[in-house]
Amino acid sequence: MPRVIFHDVDGQRIEADAPVGNTIMEAALDNDVAGILAECGGACACATCHAYVTDAWLPRLPTLEEMEDAMLDTAAERRPNSRLMCQIELTPELDGLEVFVARNES
């Protein structure tokens, strides 16, 4: 199983093993990562699964689609390395992915 390294909003580092095919958002919820609220359940309709991807990993992620891009515009403190964790599915190639959870508010 690929491993995702989360840095949650409280500054805690959490290493989570998660099945291929799950989203990063699901991996975060399964591992109680603080700050990933996922209020819309992964429908790309809330931006409360917003996180910042480290520079090394950003180019290795699937392309940012129009819908995710538009939703990220509603997120507080969008940055060039912002992504929505419900829009990224885990693959074996993403083993070691490292993300910093944004200050998501409901």
Which residues would be at the binding site for ligand FES (CB under 6 A)? 25, 38-40, 42-49, 71, 84, 86
Name, in order, each residue with C-beta under 8 angstroms of 17's C-beta and a sequence gap of 6 or more: 1, 2, 3
Q: How far is the CB of 77 from ligand FES (least distance, A)?
A: 15
Q: How far is the CB of 67 from ligand FES (least distance, A)?
A: 9
> What is the C-alpha to C-alpha distance for residues 91 and 77, in angstroms, rounded to an integer?
28
Q: What value, to the nearest 5°, has the Cα angle with vertex 53 and ends 90 and 43?
A: 55
Q: How far is the CB of 94 from ligand FES (least distance, A)?
A: 17
> Would you say 86 or 101 has its CB closer to ligand FES?
86
Q: What is the number of other CB atoms lying within 10 angstroms of the CB of residue 17?
A: 13
> Would you say 2 or 46 has its CB closer to ligand FES?
46
